[in-house]
Structure 1
Amino acid sequence: MKFLNFGSLNIDKVYTLPHFVKEGETLSSDSFEQYPGGKGLNQSIALSKSGAQVFHAGKIGKDGLFLKQKLTAEGINVEGIVEDGLITGHAIIQVTPTGENCIFLYGGANKEITVEQIDQVLEDFNADDFLVLQNEINSLDYLINAAYRKGLTIALNPSPISDTMKDLDLSKIDFLLLNEIEGQAISGETSPNKILDHLLSNNSNLKIVLTLGTNGVVYRDKIQEHKQEIYKVKVKDTTAAGDTFLGYFLSMISQKADITSALNIASKAASLAVSRKGSSSSIPLLAEVLGKDA
């Protein structure tokens, strides 16, 4: 079983500030750091570190070659990444002393994915494999339809949320992994129970993982529901928490773990990630996660 992550590749530019910049305000940053990033890259690294066989597809510009090198160093196949983008996507990230973050993105090459590239990449995958998607690249509709026809298991993380997410055919999605804000935007509901009820009433095929911040996470499908509390740690940077959780959860599921175990291990991994600075660099190895005390 293989994981194809057709996902974003970004350069993360991280600024530490006393608080998030307000309208009309100018702040001096206490520090600046640059990291490999993008939800796609982060999720691929989380999948790989949790033991999955990962193939990453996407697009970068010549300024982003170090992102490809980073993935290769993490044991990820990068044959599906092309380098002819105009400029690599990047993120401007504000981080406060309490570890909260505020992010805005420029899509760059992530928004230049072609149908021809998609078709070529998908030739090497079949119904035994997973496709992982986020909302940081273009042509999601085409990708979902093409992968569905081939019988791939499709996992979607609709982040960053946008109106286009409401138009996607969720009947073709197997795993929907999202946070409360994204759930509200897609469903129009505000409470976690109503979000889950709405999504499943319209798409009974879905297996939904809804993260609730400090209130943990809930999994629900048409026959079962499971909840998982967070592991409390001193938070330094929450940037890659959701990506770490997703990678570990899907990897555990692919290895035939039950839902309870997958949620538990993914939550431990996310707690380790937020206790460290950085995005992809904060993602722990499986041995660290399994060795973490409950």
Structure 2
Amino acid sequence: MTVLVFGSINLDLIFALPHLPSAGETVLGTGLRTEPGGKGANQAVAAARDGARVALAGAVGRDAFAAPALALLREAGVDLSRVATLDGATGCAAIGVDRDGRNQIMVAPGVNLAVSAAQVEDEALGPETVLVVQRETDAGEIAQLLLRAAARGARAIVNLAPFGGIALDALATAALIVVNAAEAEALAAALGCGAEPAALAGRLGTRVLRTLGEHGAELGDSAGTHRQPAFPVRAVDTTAAGDAFVGVLAAALDRRLGFEAAIRRAAAAAALACTRAGTQASLPGAAETDALLAAS
């Protein structure tokens, strides 16, 4: 079984700030570090560290950011044979993190917008594959891949982050759609229904999971709503918590855990990611997640 991630690869520039800037404000930081990032790459690393066999389809540019952007993917053992090197810039994110762990993120997508569904062959989309997509690559290419995956029997997780349109016929093929509270509101407005997971699930005909940060997560499906409390931790940096959640969720579903058990494991991993600074550096290993689950 395999987790196949189709998504973005970035190099993150992470600024430690006394507070997040308001419009027009310049804030002098207290530190700067660079780290691999991108929602696709983050989720691939999270799934691999949780023990899944993982492949990533994406792209980097022909620039100095490409090698460091791929470094922790290689270290985690992610299959990069579907990562293209293209003319243009590797994706880059500027992330400001304040003393309370809150963040603001600006992203220059670069060649992430040129990632093509054709980089994934049909043979990789069978019933033993969990496909994971986000919204940092082209929506049309995502839709094509989702429709092909559905035709071949793969199970797809769509993380609608950052929020943006994907053709409804493609979106409805997903086994699970993951949104945060703001993305749920935007999706509800587009669909003309309530933002509760059960309402969204009823409109789309598939499961919808809404993450709520320190308030946990809610899964809506035909059986109703399942609520997963958050694991209480002291947050240092919340930057990659959502990606930890999605990546570990995919790894757990790949191991054929039920949805409720998979969501609990994902919530534990997301909590651990909040307790340390960084993007991919903050993503926990399977043993750490096991230990938190056993202690809770």
TM-score range, shorter chain: over 0.9
Q: Is the 1:59–1:85 contact (alpha carbons within 8 Å) kept by the matching residues of 2?
A: no
Indicate the residue corresponding to 2:252 in structure 1: 252
Q: Is the 1:16–1:96 contact (alpha carbons within 8 Å) kept by the matching residues of 2?
A: yes
Deviation of 1:20 after TM superposition, in Å, equals: 1.5
Per-residue CA distance 1:135-161 (angstroms, 9 max, x = gap): 001121222222222221111001011
Indicate the residue corresponding to 1:4 in structure 2: 4
Partner secondary structure for residue 146 of structure 2: helix
Q: Distance in 2 between matches of 1:127 and 1:261?
A: 21
Deviation of 1:193 after TM superposition, in Å, equals: 7.0
Q: Distance in 2 between matches of 1:215 and 1:166?
A: 30
Per-residue CA distance 1:89-114 (angstroms, 9 max, x = gap): 01110100000011011110100123
Given the alignment of the two structures, is residue 177 of structure 1 paired with residue 187 of structure 2, yes or no?
A: no
Deviation of 1:235 after TM superposition, in Å, equals: 0.8
Q: Distance in 1 between matches of 2:134 and 2:80?
A: 18
TM-score of the superposed pair, with normalisation by structure 1? 0.92
Given the alignment of the two structures, is residue 117 of structure 1 paired with residue 119 of structure 2, yes or no?
A: yes
Aligned partner letter, 2:6 = F
Partner secondary structure for residue 25 of structure 1: coil
Deviation of 1:125 after TM superposition, in Å, equals: 3.3
**Structure 1 residues 115, 289: CA separation in 2 closer, same or farther (over 3 Å shift)?**
closer
Q: Could you list the runs of 5+ residues in structure 1 that have no partner in the other structure?
A: none
Given the alignment of the two structures, is residue 67 of structure 1 paired with residue 72 of structure 2, yes or no?
A: no
**Structure 1 residues 85, 173: CA separation in 2 closer, same or farther (over 3 Å shift)?**
farther
Aligned length: 288
Indicate the residue corresponding to 1:142 in structure 2: 144
Partner secondary structure for residue 86 of structure 2: coil
TM-score of the superposed pair, with normalisation by structure 2? 0.91
Q: Is the 1:166–1:186 contact (alpha carbons within 8 Å) kept by the matching residues of 2?
A: no
**Structure 1 residues 116, 208: CA separation in 2 closer, same or farther (over 3 Å shift)?**
closer
Deviation of 1:54 after TM superposition, in Å, equals: 0.4
Indicate the residue corresponding to 1:108 in structure 2: 110
Aligned-residue RMSD, C-alpha: 1.9
Q: Is the 2:45–2:72 contact (alpha carbons within 8 Å) kept by the matching residues of 1?
A: no
| TM alignment of 1:35-114, pairs within 5 A | 35-62=35-62, 63=64, 64-114=66-116
Deviation of 1:291 after TM superposition, in Å, equals: 1.1
Percentage of pairs with the same residue: 29
Q: Distance in 1 between matches of 2:40 and 2:125?
A: 18
Given the alignment of the two structures, is residue 16 of structure 1 paired with residue 34 of structure 2, yes or no?
A: no
Deviation of 1:166 after TM superposition, in Å, equals: 6.8
Indicate the residue corresponding to 2:132 in structure 1: 132
Partner secondary structure for residue 83 of structure 1: strand
Per-residue CA distance 1:215-269 (angstroms, 9 max, x = gap): 1111121124321111111111001101111111222122122333222221111
Deviation of 1:165 after TM superposition, in Å, equals: 4.0
Deviation of 1:284 after TM superposition, in Å, equals: 0.7
Q: Distance in 2 between matches of 1:22 and 1:135?
A: 26
Q: Could you list the runs of 5+ residues in structure 2 that have no partner in the other structure?
A: none
Partner secondary structure for residue 265 of structure 1: helix
